[in-house]
């Protein structure tokens, strides 16, 4: 069973192949994820996780395509990202700020006619906003796409900011 932990940093996971580009972290596999090439065969990986890594990758589309290539059918990839209005969103090494609609182009649930000819891989994507403990009542927002749209479009996302976005990609 092959399980990958992309961008592990110093937080290595037991039972995973921990991958990072920083030699000081002493990962199991030293690899520049920015290049978007994973040294695994097609449909050979059982599980992928990434915690606070993809926001540092400017070529996230290439890396997502590569993840899709190596994932077995039915395989899941879990990803944690800092939310755009959260306290950790403005870190100087972040390439972009993540909002709820990120990765929509890769979501099977949002297909349009134009997307049918697009070369982007299509996942089933489950999203969950995570809020600070003091506004835990906001976790109810995850049960309604309408509430999420209202929260984002009215500017409430600045008054009651989410701290992270948890994503599950299923091939």
Torsion of the alpha carbons at 140, 146, 77 and 133, rounded to the nearest 10: -30
What is the pLDDT, as a whole number, of residue 12? 94
> Comparing C-alpha atoms, which of 63, 95, 64 is closest to residue 82?
95
Give the pLDDT of the chain (171 residues) as one tens digit per residue. Answer: 999 999 999 999 999 999 999 999 999 999 999 887 899 999 999 999 999 887 878 888 888 899 999 999 999 999 998 887 765 666 666 556 676 777 777 787 766 655 555 677 888 889 999 988 888 788 888 888 889 888 888 888 888 888 898 999 999
Contact (CB, 8 A) for 89 and 74: no
What's the pTM value of the predicted model, to 2 decimals? 0.85
Two structure tokens written together for 10: 């110093």
Q: State the SS3 of the chain.
A: CCEEEECCCCCCCCCCEEEECCHHHCCCEECCHHHCCCCCCCCCEEEEEEECCHHHCCCHHHHHHHHHHHEEEEEEEEEEEEECCCCCCCCCCCCCCECCCCCHHHEHHHCCCHHHHCCCCCEEEEEEEECCHHHHHHHHHHHCHHHHHHHHHCCHHHHCCCCEEEEEEEC
Q: What is the pLDDT of residue 79?
A: 94
pLDDT of residue 137: 82
Name the residue ranges covered by the structural domains of the chain.
Answer: 3-170
Among 81, 80, 82, 37, which residue's Cα sits nearest to residue 59? 37
* CATH 3.40.50.150 holds for 3-170: yes
106/54 Cα distance (integer angstroms)? 15
């Amino acid at each position: 069973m092959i399980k990958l932990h992309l961008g592990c940093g110093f937080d290595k996971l037991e039972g995973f192949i921990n991958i990072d580009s920083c030699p000081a972290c002493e990962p199991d596999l030293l690899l520049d994820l920015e290049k978007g090439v994973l040294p695994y065969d097609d449909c050979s990986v059982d599980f992928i996780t990434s915690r606070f890594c993809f926001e540092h990758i400017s070529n996230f589309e290439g890396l997502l395509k590569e993840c899709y290539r190596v994932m077995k059918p039915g395989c899941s990839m879990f990803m944690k990202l800092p939310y755009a209005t959260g306290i950790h969103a403005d870190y100087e090494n972040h390439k972009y700020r993540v909002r709820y609609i990120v990765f929509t182009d890769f979501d099977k649930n949002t297909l349009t006619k134009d997307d049918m000819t697009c070369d982007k891989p299509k996942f089933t994507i489950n999203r969950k906003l995570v809020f600070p403990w003091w506004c835990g009542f906001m976790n109810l927002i995850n049960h309604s796409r309408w509430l999420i749209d209202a929260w984002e479009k009215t500017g409430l996302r600045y008054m009651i900011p989410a701290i992270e976005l948890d994503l599950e990609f299923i091939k």
